[in-house]
Amino acid sequence: MHEDRLIELVEQLTSAGQPEGKWLTQLELVEQGERLVVQETQQAGTCGEACRTVERAAEQIMGEHDTDVAEALFVGKKSRAQFSNWLCYELSSACKHKPPPLPKARMQTAIACSARLAPTAARVQQRKSLNGARLVQQQPAIRAQRRFVVKAESTSTEGSQVDVEALVKDVQEKWDKVENKTSVIVYGAGGIVVLWLAATIVGALNNIPLLPKIFELVGLGYSAWFTYRYLLFKSSREELVEDIESLKKKISGEQ
């Protein structure tokens, strides 16, 4: 991974001095497709040039790429400015004399960051195997759920068919019990004619400017009276039910 290569190059820059203030190792960021690759270039440069190269690398990674990469590059530093100042100081001192190697705490931080960033192939393979085992374990449960859904749908359709058949039989039985079937047919046809006439009259009255408003007021008044007379009290509701039942019996000829 390029994070590990960054850490290795930073270690080389901060722990190995070069004669006459020359640096043979510089950082170069190269984009290959969607990945950022850090490679070594064999170009001679001063300490300042090497420091500026590392600063540009840190700035580019911090601005355009994942913050985890920048975190691995900073080797435990809190900000870009602290890292740049620290690295420039290390580079300038390395030109004069060979500085001591990096502390173990920094190395541990860098290794921890790189380990967190780049999971090994064994872990990936283990995750895949675990996911495959979970899928294999879930397949019987999914099949059982599908069977249950299919059974529930079949039972619900059968129940609806039974209800329709029972309703048809009930209507047929009631129709057979009716004595004056002709009167029922006449009443039904009369109701249809009345509805048609009412719709025609309402359509004609809507063309008159004031009558629709008057009829709306009449309808509101009648609705209020009907609610107060038949729906507000329990005794009134029972009376309404009795009237409806007696009307049904008169229409069917039972009374």
Q: Is 150 helix (H, G, I), strand (E, B) or coil?
A: helix
Rounded distance, CA 45 to CA 27, Å?
11
What total number of domains does the chain contain?
Answer: 2
Q: Is 43 helix (H, G, I), strand (E, B) or coil?
A: coil
Q: Is residue 235 part of a domain?
A: yes
Higher-pLDDT residue of 207, 47: 207
Rounded distance, CA 227 to CA 236, Å?
10
Q: Is residue 7 part of a domain?
A: yes
The answer on 105 and 36 residing in a single domain is yes
* Predicted local distance difference test score (pLDDT) of residue 250: 81
Confidence of residue 16 (pLDDT cuts 50, 70, 90): very low
* Predicted local distance difference test score (pLDDT) of residue 253: 72
Contact 48, 38 (CB under 8 A): no
Contact 184, 252 (CB under 8 A): yes
Tens digits of residue pLDDT in 196-248: 998 998 888 778 878 778 888 999 999 999 999 888 888 889 999 999 998 88
pLDDT at 145 over 80: no
Q: Is residue 11 part of a domain?
A: yes
Residue 7's Cα: distance from chain center in Å?
Answer: 39
Domain of residue 74 covers 2-118
Rounded distance, CA 94 to CA 44, Å?
15
Q: Is residue 103 part of a domain?
A: yes
The answer on 114 and 192 residing in a single domain is no
pLDDT at 9 over 50: yes
What is the arithmetic mean of pLDDT over 69-97? Answer: 49
